Structure 1
Amino acid sequence: MASKYSLPPNAVWFVTGTSSGIGRAFAEFLSTSPKGYRLVAAARKTSALDYLPNSQNVLKLALDVASPTAIKNAVQDAIKSFGRIDVLINNAGYSLLGDTEATTDEQARVVFETLFWGAANLTKEAVRVMREENSKSGTVGGVVIYMSSPGGRVALPGGSYYFATRFAMNGFYEGFTKELNPDWNIHLMIAEPGFVRTDYLTRSTIVTERHPAYLDAKCATNQVLGMLDQARNGLDLAGTPEKLVEIVVDVVESGTEEVGIPLRLPLGLDSLSLIDSSLKKQLKENELIKPFAGRFFGSQGSAFEGFDDMA
């Protein structure tokens, strides 16, 4: 169970992917907050951040999260300016959709460099700062958030490499958060919004060339791509990025009533419904295969006995 967290006054928020969409909504909200938050806004080009005020409380940085060197330099710039990082929003990313057999190795590796390695490297840097630097100026600890989707727990046809990155970060955050000493007061959270009213499905989604073998109507990728086209035309029914930001900031500021900063935060009924449906299917399948699973060790028990408490 996650624990409570108290956000310090004048907290420093480091947000990636702030040129548009959810990242921009975070930057606009935080830079105008009456609470005096300080903002590190990162994008591939600082020219995309002209909408932000030129203020001593706003630091605009050029950052390609696929570059480990650029990440270290950006974090160092943030420390030079503000001395600490209290909240990291890992938001930079895009979608790669299409038939797995038609996806090139280069396309797959590039999406992993951004959605997995970039986010993982930035998370580790933030944890180091929250442990070693934040205490020098008062409050210990911080919050690291990965902006994911229900695709981190439920894979759909037509995006196996994209979903693999989301699943990978899910495992990375779940494992990493359990390594952290509670005294450090550092909290990791995966936000899982459903459809959000942005241009992400058009501007930040790459669809590979189709593989002729998968054009058959019985292949489910065709259905998924068709539903995405419908979603693009029906985004007026989706939640707004401003509402998403409001909820995430509220959780960081106050925690959830029961668990403080949760490891996972589904957002939207579409996200909750997809995750719940998948979990129910997994539990049902577990019950059906128990007789086969039990045959592996039988009465000898399990080699993983005692690990359940860490789940």
Structure 2
Amino acid sequence: MTYSDKKVWFVTGTSSGLGRAVVEHILEKGDRVVATLRKPGALADLVPKHSTDQLLVLKLDVVVPSDITAAFAAALAKFGRIDVVYNNAGFTSLGEVEGTQDSIARKMFEVNFFGATNVTREAVRVFRDENKPRGGRLLQASSMAAIQAMAGVGYYSATKFALEGVTQALAAELHPSWGIKITLIELGGFRTSIINEQENLHVAAVHPAYTAADLASVGFRELTTSGKLAESCSDPNKAAREIYKLGLDDNVGFRVPLGLDAIAVVGAQLDETRRDVEAAGKWSVDLK
């Protein structure tokens, strides 16, 4: 099978973590990949190992709309189509809601929500208007924190809630004839740079009201900054293997919790929500 018979993937946020792991797995499987990131030099070690017919590395900062359109245009010019987009770029901030600066919260929304949404819109346009035949797969990197918001990462959770909301609305708006399928991957904990303070994790100063050892956010902060959280997380290379499979499977659902911890968290939140909904019935019996 030649490269022209292989899928073309477009991946954002590939400098490290799941983005890089997914790119490496795609290359191992022999598919073609457009690896995008803010600093292309971070992939300098991969470039000499792969043919230019298989790997294209492009600069893309998702908060710059012109970067997004330019990267998709370059990918199309090189490979003629894009089959799968893994929308992965993002970062998080560790800190209580009261202790997180507005500037950091807004930056997270710029990257995790507006940046990801602009990538999403361009992916849909390319799948519909540029691909021949029409169609494509969008894999949206969400989180179990988009279903059950977590103490200590409230604004990060909020960005993922927002991304899931706009993605669900978009999926309902697409015409079936366009052949576009969207999947939200609600990721559990993986050993990536998003939980590494030196890379994609901003750590806010401790708010003076949140110092009691029995507070959930305090415990989470200690787990994260000590490195113990990373030690308990799963192998990103195994996640990359499953993300690759999801990109080739047209029968997966709209939401896919990925990781046993994600399955547990999402399941627990569903149970809690169902109990709340059932208990609320008494207030709505004569309301339309």
TM-score, with structure 2 as normaliser: 0.91
Kindly indicate whether residue 245 of structure 2 is the aligned counterpart of residue 254 of structure 1.
no
Kindly indicate whether residue 58 of structure 2 is the aligned counterpart of residue 64 of structure 1.
no
Q: Which amino acid aligns with 1:221?
A: S
Query: Equivalent residue for 2:5?
Result: 9
Paired residues in the alignment total 280
* Bigger Rg, structure 1 or 2: 1
* Residues 129-278 of structure 1 aligned to structure 2 (within 5 Å): 129-135=126-132, 139-202=133-196, 203-217=199-213, 219-229=215-225, 232-233=227-228, 235-255=230-250, 260-278=251-269
1:24 offset after TM fit, Å? 0.8
- Residue 31 of structure 1 contacts residue 52 of structure 1 at CA under 8 Å; is this kept in 2? no
Q: Which amino acid aligns with 1:195?
A: G
Kindly indicate whether residue 45 of structure 2 is the aligned counterpart of residue 48 of structure 1.
no
Partner of 2:209, secondary structure, is: helix
Q: Using a 3 Å threshold, how does the CA distance of structure 1 residues 282 and 227 change in structure 2: closer, same or farther?
A: farther
Query: CA deviation digits over 1:144-175, x for unaligned, max 9?
Result: 11112101111011222111100001111111
Which segments of 5 or more consecutive residues in structure 2 lack a partner in the other structure? none
Matches of 1:227 and 1:234 in 2, distance apart?
A: 5
Query: Equivalent residue for 1:105?
Result: 102
- Residue 62 of structure 2 contacts residue 111 of structure 2 at CA under 8 Å; is this kept in 1? yes
Kindly indicate whether residue 271 of structure 2 is the aligned counterpart of residue 280 of structure 1.
yes
Matches of 1:9 and 1:197 in 2, distance apart?
A: 33
Query: CA deviation digits over 1:220-248, x for unaligned, max 9?
Result: 32132234357x32645532112111112
Q: Using a 3 Å threshold, how does the CA distance of structure 1 residues 99 and 239 change in structure 2: closer, same or farther?
A: closer
- Residue 41 of structure 1 contacts residue 58 of structure 1 at CA under 8 Å; is this kept in 2? yes
Matches of 2:155 and 2:233 in 1, distance apart?
A: 25
- Residue 11 of structure 2 contacts residue 87 of structure 2 at CA under 8 Å; is this kept in 1? yes
Query: CA deviation digits over 1:179-227, x for unaligned, max 9?
Result: 1111111011111121113343113211211211122345432132234
1:104 offset after TM fit, Å? 1.5
CA RMSD of aligned residues (A): 1.8
Q: Which amino acid aligns with 2:16?
A: S
Kindly indicate whether residue 119 of structure 2 is the aligned counterpart of residue 119 of structure 1.
no
1:275 offset after TM fit, Å? 0.7
Q: Using a 3 Å threshold, how does the CA distance of structure 1 residues 81 and 281 change in structure 2: closer, same or farther?
A: same
Q: Which amino acid aligns with 1:264?
A: R
Query: Equivalent residue for 2:282?
Result: 291
Query: Equivalent residue for 2:80?
Result: 83
Identity across matched positions, percent:
36
Query: CA deviation digits over 1:83-125, x for unaligned, max 9?
Result: 2111111111111120212212111110001000011000100
Query: Equivalent residue for 1:309?
Result: none
Partner of 2:34, secondary structure, is: strand
Q: Which amino acid aligns with 1:173?
A: T
Matches of 1:156 and 1:198 in 2, distance apart?
A: 18
- Residue 140 of structure 2 contacts residue 183 of structure 2 at CA under 8 Å; is this kept in 1? yes
Partner of 1:146, secondary structure, is: strand
- Residue 13 of structure 1 contacts residue 39 of structure 1 at CA under 8 Å; is this kept in 2? yes
Q: Using a 3 Å threshold, how does the CA distance of structure 1 residues 102 and 239 change in structure 2: closer, same or farther?
A: closer
TM-score, with structure 1 as normaliser: 0.85
Q: Which amino acid aligns with 1:246?
A: R
